[in-house]
Amino acid sequence: MALYVNPKLSDRDYGLFRIGGPGLANCMFVAARAAILARKLGAVMLRPTWERFGVGQWIRRERDKRFYSGLFKGGVLGNGFNKLCLKLTQRHILEEAADSAKKGVIEVRGLRNYFADLLHDADAVRQYFTDNIRPQAISKVPSGKQDAVGIHIRLGDFPAEYRTDINWYVNVVKALIAHEKYGYKQRFWLFSDGLDCELKPLLDIPNVERVCFGNALADIVAISRCRLLIGSDSTFSGWGAFLGDIPCVFAHIHYGRILEDCNKVLISNDEKEIASWLSQKEIN
C-alpha cells in the first residue's frame, strides 16, 4: 500500500472543487508543506483542490472572484475521483504523525508557521510551483527580472488592523524617486484589490502604473520578478517576495520571517531608516 500526502485546503473539499476556505496565498502554504513532506517521505502527493466557490467576492463586487481554476496543472476530474477513493479506503493520518507513517493518507492543513516552515526547503518550494503552474496562467507576465518596483496594497475584505496607511506607501515611493540609484525614471507596478479612488495618492505619482496580469497567481509571479517590493501585511505580498527571493520593505507584518537572508527584509515606519536601507548594495 502506498503513502499519500493530501494538502487539504478547505474542510469542504470535494476533490473537484471546494467551498469557501482560504484564498490563494494562504492555500499555497498548505501545498508547499505537502510538497516538502511528500519529498521527504517518498510519498505520493495528491493535487491540491485549488478550484473554489465562494459568495463573499460577489457580495463585495470584487474584480477577482477567486475561483482559482486553470492556474495549476493536473486533471480536476481525476483528482476528485482519486481523493474520493482514498477517503473511502485509506487511513487518514495527522501531519504531526507523518514521520512514523507507513501507509495511508497524511492530511496537511492550516497555516502553521507560515514561511518559517519553508525556509530550509525554499528552493524545493520554488521549484514545486515552477513545475506546477500552468504556463497559460502566467502568459501575460514578462519573463525574467524586471526593472520595476512592485507595490502591493491589500484592501478589499482585509481587516483594518492589518492595513497599511496609504501615506506610508507614498513616502517610500518618494524616497525611492529621490535616490540616485532609482531616480524619477524608476517604474512602479501597483498591485491592489482596492478602488482607484482609494489608491489615488499613489496613482497621482508619475511612473506609478496600476497593473494586473490576468489573475491572482500571475500577479504574485509578476511581483516575484520585480527588483524590489513595497509590501502589505498580506501573505500575497509575502509569496511574491519569497518566490523571487527579492528585497522587500513593509510597515508591519504579522506572519513573521519571509526570506532566508534577513538583510533583504525591512520592517519599519521610520522614513530615515527606510531611506538608509534602500541605499544598501544588497538591493541593487
How far apart CA 151 and CA 169 sit, in angstroms, is 8
Q: Which tens digit of pLDDT belongs to each residue from 34-60?
A: 999 999 999 999 999 999 876 555 444
The radius of gyration computed from the CA coordinates of the chain, to the nearest angstrom, equals 20
Instruction: Check whether 181 has a pLDDT greater than 80.
Output: no
Q: How many other CB atoms are found less than 10 A from the CB of residue 280?
A: 13
Q: At what angle do helices 235-244 and 24-41 cross, to 10 degrees?
A: 50
Which domains are present in the chain? 3-133 (no CATH), 138-283 (3.40.50.2000)
The predicted structure's pLDDT at residue 221: 98
116 to 73, 123, 218: CA distances (angstroms): 26, 14, 24
200 to 195, 197, 205, 214: CA distances (angstroms): 9, 5, 9, 22
The predicted structure's pLDDT at residue 56: 52
Instruction: Check whether 240 has a pLDDT greater than 90.
Output: yes
Q: Which tens digit of pLDDT belongs to each residue from 87-131?
A: 888 999 999 999 888 899 999 999 999 999 999 999 999 999 999
**Residue carrying C-alpha cell 523571487:** 244
More confident position, 199 or 58: 199
Q: What percent of the chain has pLDDT over 90?
A: 72
Helix (H, G, I), strand (E, B) or coil at 148: strand
Please provide the DSSP assignment of 188-214 as one string.
EEEEESS-HHHHHHHHTSTTEEE---S
Contact at 8 Å (CB) between 231 and 237?
Answer: yes
How far apart CA 108 and CA 100 sit, in angstroms, is 15
The predicted structure's pLDDT at residue 283: 56
Average pLDDT over residues 184-199: 94
Instruction: Check whether 255 has a pLDDT greater than 80.
Output: yes
For residue 78, the Cα-to-chain-centroid distance in whole angstroms is 26
In this structure, of 157-166, 193-202, 264-273, the range with the lowest mean pLDDT score is 157-166
Instruction: Check whether 156 has a pLDDT greater than 50.
Output: yes
Contact at 8 Å (CB) between 223 and 229?
Answer: yes
Q: Is the whole-model pTM more than 0.95?
A: no
